[in-house]
Structure 1
Amino acid sequence: MTDLSAAPSWRRDLSIDQQLALTTAATRLAAEFDGIYGTETIERFLHSSYDQFAPASIPHFLPLLAERFARQRLQALARVEGHHRDGKPVVLFLCTHNAGRSQIALGFFTHLAGDAAIAWSGGSEPGTEINTAAVAAMAERGIDISGEYPKPWTDEVVRAADVVITMGCGDACPTFPGTRYQNWDVDDPAGLDVAAVRPIRDDLERRVRALLEDLHVPAR
């Protein structure tokens, strides 16, 4: 792995287990992207993804979060660079904290589209955890978003998207020429209880279903 001597202090203090976990993650990613990206690119994306979450996240989960985020970013980059062409539409849901609205929308989109489309989410100022009321409200619909996590958007992820849905991030939301943007005026569920989140959830479901229809993706 990359020499950590010039890294931030929290990375120089990585435990043996964390270093081993990152090494294992790099090995898995290298196998997944074999023939597309080399070791240097894999490690650069993995380490920069790790940097996005530390030191705010629970250390035990950092390597896993970094691997998941690095995988998403590498998948996006492969699409941008033309290494991956499957014809599936890609949608990116963005809000401020990537803890409520964008996660609910992502949950519905993934559940309804299945393998027919791809969706990602991100935030301009990512929070530290998913909104628990949003998790509970989605569980009422049989959709589990508890395994998701707030994360930032990155250039390659935005550039890979065919449609970018923004919700409340304003001028902080990224813009790239040639990308289709829609702004959804949806209330923020932050600080609300489950009863108050339900109308927001239902509004987002309607919007996601309309989006799928517009993309000619049949809802399951």
Structure 2
Amino acid sequence: MDTRLGYHQSLIELQTDLLKMGRQVEVQIQSAVDSLSTLDEQKARETIGNDDQIDDMMLKIEERCLRLIALQQPMASDLRIIGTASKIAVDLERIADHAVDIAKITRRLAGEELVRPLVVIPKMAEIAIEMLRESLLAYTSQDVNRAASLADRDDEVDQLYGSLMQDMTGLMSTDIPHNRQLFHLIMVAQFLERVADHTTNIGEGVIYMVTGKRKDLNV
């Protein structure tokens, strides 16, 4: 196979690996939040158990990136594509870690009844997952505008987080177990807010990859 053709094929395979990892991370976030909504300890255990697969995917992508740099000595623009892929893999792994964090909270709350049905947390998760999809599509299509639009969605997540904080604070009482659950739910919202931040990191990486310029989307 022609060296240049083989190089481009490797870049395509790198993008494929990233999208595959991204889809698995989406599943992890959704599974974690679903486990919390129903306090399903078994689903939480499965989510935690699946994290090793995400870690393996990240390592595979990082190894592919290092191999491409070592063997192909890419030019500046291609180097940014490869470097961005490596950083995206790290952000995806950290998002998956937050899914594990949420699943662990499900396990802590197992056997209890939720103080109220979850509404804001699933909505935050829905937006965060949509942001994740958009960030990866922005990467594969090298779409700067798509990447920049993540900032507006991040604002939505921040607003939901603020409303949940206000709501949960208002529900605090002298009942220690009750307050403990509220505290854990606030932590879940914090994890989802960080998931959204990681997707804006991906968007910033895409903008730098395409333009060579830094832009802060998480302001």
TM-score, normalised with respect to structure 1 = 0.27
Higher relative contact order (CA 8 A, sep 6+): 2
TM-score, normalised with respect to structure 2 = 0.27
Structure ranking higher in strand proportion: 1
Q: Which has the larger radius of gyration?
A: 2
